[in-house]
A and B are shown apart, each in its own frame.
Chain A
Amino acid sequence: KQEVTQIPAALSVPEGENLVLNCSFTDSAIYNLQWFRQDPGKGLTSLLLIQSSQREQTSGRLNASLDKSSGRSTLYIAASQPGDSATYLCAVRTSGTYKYIFGTGTRLKVLA
């Protein structure tokens, strides 16, 4: 059974800092992995999707990497801003299914 873990659970950084969020999964037979952002009281917004055959994806200040063999993905946020404050979740789709299993999320606060 696929299990997804995110560390740390919460993170507080000063504005301008570069930061890394971590996601680990137990079953390396994945089809793809998505990173989401969730603002308080809102739904989730997909930020980046990495296929199992890819090593990384970039969108603006965000870069997501994937190491399937070690069961890990990271989300790198460059030059963080207060507007980046939100909860970030990763979700894994295991091969042979369309089920996305979510991690518990990292609650990020960027201080002005």
Chain B
Amino acid sequence: DAGVIQSPRHEVTEMGQEVTLRCKPISGHDYLFWYRQTMMRGLELLIYFNNNVPIDDSGMPEDRFSAKMPNASFSTLKIQPSEPRDSAVYFCASSSGSQKDEKLFFGSGTQLSVL
């Protein structure tokens, strides 16, 4: 498997624009997570899905953020409208949920800069 795939790797946009980040989890993994990493706050869990259903979105900062998982192989995180304080690295991760292998596998991240 190619691992967790995120796109784009880098995104530079202007304040007020809509941003969509994409993630393809490892095939067969039932859990998908979106994290945000900043120097000030470290790694923060935004939302996670189980079998395509959002389970906990308590980490989503505000209504400008939304996430979807239309099928087992694709998820999006959307920010509309974007603000400079949204600048961060956004990671997607997946896990099988199996007791035999519960490790989290991370993608390479999307570096978002909002000007």
Residues of A within 8 A of B (CB): 32, 34, 36, 42-46, 49, 89, 91, 93, 97-105
Contact = CB atoms under 8 A, between A and B. Distances in A.
A99 B33 CA distance: 9
A26 to B, nearest CB: 16
A42 B108 contact: yes
Contacts of A32: 102
A44 B106 contact: yes
B107 interface: yes
B103 A99 contact: no
Contacts of B56: 97-99
Given A98-B48, A98-B50, A100-B33, A49 B43 contact: no
A95 to B, nearest CB: 13
Interface residues of B, number: 23
Contacts of B97: 98
19 contacts: A32-B102, A36-B104, A36-B106, A43-B106, A43-B107, A43-B109, A44-B104, A45-B106, A46-B104, A46-B105, A91-B104, A97-B56, A98-B31, A98-B48, A98-B50, A98-B97, A100-B33, A100-B104, A103-B42
Contacts of A34: 103-104
A97 B43 CA distance: 18
Interface of B: 4, 31, 33, 35, 42-43, 45, 48, 50, 55-56, 91, 93, 95, 97, 102-109
Contacts of B108: 42-43
Contacts of A44: 91, 93, 104, 106
A4 B91 CA distance: 19
Contacts of B105: 46
A102 B104 contact: no
Nearest to B95: A98
Nearest to B105: A46
A103 B4 CA distance: 22
A112 to B, nearest CB: 27
Contacts of B45: 99-101
